[in-house]
Amino acid sequence: MKGTVLVAGATGAVGTPLVRQLVDGGWRVFGTTRDSRRADALRRAGADALVVDVFDAPALDAALVSARPDVVVHQLTDLPGLRTPESLSVAIQRNARLRREGTRNLVQATLASGCPRMVAQSIAWAYAPGPLPHAETDPLDTSATGDRSVTVRAVLELESLVLNTPGLDGLVLRYGHLYGPRTWSAVRESEMPLHVEDAAHAAVCAVERAGITGAFNVSEPGPQLSVEQARHLLGWAPRIR
């Protein structure tokens, strides 16, 4: 057994293949879900299921203290199964709250459990306009307006909590647009596509690179993003499909 990983959001689009890849790779895995009906699926995948809501800070603290993970992986999102203009507008607000308050609670619980390391999901389409391809050192779009502003501000808070909290070795994966099972698209639809299996694999690579921190672009090759840092420091590369 390599160690213990707690995956927050373990039944989501990325969390599901991530749990499988970690178990197959020799890790003990605890997976959180707020839906008790999904706990059995986690157990069938070889994980220990923890039914807990990230907004319930005391319960989250207790869950992580009981698991005593070596690494916490933050894959929490709050997105609708079907993308429509109406559902997306509501989801932007819910997802922003999850990135702000949920991340704050998860960081607190991680530290309470004695875990020194967190890997967190972020997004790669929050960069400010500028020369392409975007590198991780490029600024995020703090001048955005409307729904984009809600998203960018929440991403900034999430990344700051993960990367700048004293006592926590944080690593952020800036995912491209996801496609594949349980996402909004079965096929590539953008210039920064990322299959969910590759997103999960990037998280496994990050878990296994102890001591490496910072932000990493994670996407298939394209004009929008440079992913060389993830290749060189995490040893990650997307599969050819």
Q: What's the rounded Cα separation, in Å, for the pair 134 and 63?
A: 38
Complete domains list, the chain, with CATH: 4-234 (3.40.50.720)
Q: What's the rounded Cα separation, in Å, for the pair 60 and 53?
A: 7
Q: What's the rounded Cα separation, in Å, for the pair 16 and 109?
A: 22
- The predicted-structure confidence for 51-65, as pLDDT tens digits, reads as follows 999 999 999 999 999
Is the link from the previous residue into 69 a cis peptide, with omega within 30 of 0?
Answer: no
Beta bridge partners of 127: 140
Phi, psi angles (nearest 5°) of residue 173: -105, 115
Q: What's the pTM? A: 0.96
- The predicted-structure confidence for 13-44, as pLDDT tens digits, reads as follows 999 999 999 999 999 999 999 999 999 999 99
